[in-house]
């Protein structure tokens, strides 16, 4: 995700919102731990998290973000 943000001229401190799809809700606590460690302090965006059927069985998480430049 860092690469995509940099390519767009942004970074993880400028994320405005995130939509998170998890394959299984049991993975949400681990995702939250990793997500919170990745974001700079004080930069948590608005977000929603839903359990979803993934297009490919090996995908556990999919994140769609909107970030400012």
19-69 pLDDT tens trace:
999 999 999 999 999 999 999 999 999 999 999 999 999 999 999 999 999
Work out the end-to-end distance of the chain between its first and last CA atoms, rounded to an integer number of angstroms.
15
Rounded alpha-carbon distances, angstroms, from residue 64 to 17, 23: 8, 15
pLDDT computed for residue 52 by the predictor: 97
CA distance 30 to 36: 10
CA 8 to centroid of chain Cα atoms:
16
Enter the CATH code of domain 2-67. Answer: 3.30.1330.40
* Edge-to-edge strand ranges of the sheet holding 46-51: 46-51, 15-22, 61-67
pTM for the predicted model, two decimal places: 0.88
């Amino acid at each position: 995700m860092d690469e995509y943000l940099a390519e767009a001229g942004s970074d993880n401190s400028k994320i405005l919102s995130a939509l998170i799809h998890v394959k299984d809700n049991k993975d949400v606590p681990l995702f939250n731990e990793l997500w919170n460690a990745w974001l700079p302090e004080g930069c948590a965006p608005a977000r929603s998290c839903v359990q979803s059927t993934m297009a490919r069985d090996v995908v556990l998480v999919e994140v769609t973000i909107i970030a400012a430049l």
